Chains A and B, each alone.
Chain A
Amino acid sequence: GAVVSQHPSRVICKSGTSVKIECRSLDFQATTMFWYRQFPKQSLMLMATSNEGSKATYEQGVEKDKFLINHASLTLSTLTVTSAHPEDSSFYICSPTLPGDTFGSGTRLTVV
C-alpha cells in the first residue's frame, strides 16, 4: 500500500510560536492530502483538504489563517500551526489521496 511519512512525531512549542508538520508520500503522487485533528480521548475530525497547486479547503470552524496548508508538490503537504496556543495541543494526522487506506504516523503537538 501507499506509504506516507509524517514529521515530526512529537513537538513541544511555546505559546505564540509556529510549528510546521510535514507529510511526504514516499511511493506515489498525492494530489490530495487530508489533514485530521484528534483531541485526547476523542475521535478524528477532518480539518482541511490540501490540493496540489491550488488552495486548501477548510472545514467549517477551522481558521484558515491559523492553520496554513501548503501542497507545493505531489509528494509534500505541510500544515503550519501559527501563533499556537495551548488549545491547539492535539494529535494531527495526514492521509493522502486514497481516503481511508493510509495514514501518516501522526504528530503530537503540545503547546506550553
Chain B
Amino acid sequence: ELKVEQNPLFLSMQEGKNYTIYCNYSTTSDRLYWYRQDPGKSLESLFVLLSNGAVKQEGRLMASLDTKARLSTLHITAAVHDLSATYFCAGNNQGGKLIFGQGTELSVKP
C-alpha cells in the first residue's frame, strides 16, 4: 500500500532564502501531486508530475520527480511572505485514490 512521507513538517524561512521540501513515497504511483492549502481553505493544485525526470516550475516554486528514488521535491526560490501556507504532496493509490503526505507548514518571515 502506498505511503507518502514529507519532510520537513515545519519550515520557517526568511524572505529571499531558498529551501526544498522532500516527498518520499513507498510504492509505484501513477502521478505525484503538489498542493497548497491556506488556513481554512481547500486545496489548490500546484503541480502534477507524470514521469521520471519531470520538472515543472511556476513562479518561485519548482517541482521535480525521480521515480527510481521514489522522491519528489518542491524547491522554493527566494521565498516571499505570500508563499506562507501548508504544502502537501500526494500519490495515486489503486483506483485513483489519493494518498497524502503529512503536509509541510511553511512560514516565511521578513
Residue pair B42, A100 in contact (C-beta under 8 Å): no
Residue pair B45, A102 in contact (C-beta under 8 Å): yes
Within 8 A of A (CB), among B52-108: 88, 90, 92, 95-103
Q: Tell which of A49, A99, A105, A106 has the most Cβ of chain B within 10 Å.
A: A99
Query: What are 16 of the A-B contact pairs (CB < 8 Å)?
Result: A32-B96, A43-B102, A44-B43, A44-B98, A46-B97, A46-B98, A49-B95, A49-B97, A99-B92, A99-B98, A100-B92, A100-B98, A101-B45, A103-B43, A104-B42, A106-B41
With CB as the reference atom, state the residue of chain A lying closest to B88: A43
Residue pair B100, A44 in contact (C-beta under 8 Å): yes
Contact count band on B? 20 to 34
Q: Find chain B residues with CB under 8 A from A36 CB.
A: 98
Q: How far is the CA of A51 from the CA of B101 in the complex (A)?
A: 25
Check if B25 is an interface residue, CB within 8 A of chain A: no
Q: How far is the CA of A79 from the CA of B31 in the complex (A)?
A: 27
Q: Tell which of B88, B95, B98 has the most Cβ of chain A within 10 Å.
A: B98
Residue pair B33, A43 in contact (C-beta under 8 Å): no
Check if B40 is an interface residue, CB within 8 A of chain A: yes
Question: Distance (Å) between the CB of A57 and the closest chain B CB?
Answer: 8
Question: Distance (Å) between the CB of B48 and the closest chain A CB?
Answer: 7
Cβ contacts B9-43/A at 8 Å (1 or 0 each): 00000000000000000000001010000001111
Question: Distance (Å) between the CB of B24 and the closest chain A CB?
Answer: 15
Q: How far is the CA of A99 from the CA of B61 in the complex (A)?
A: 22
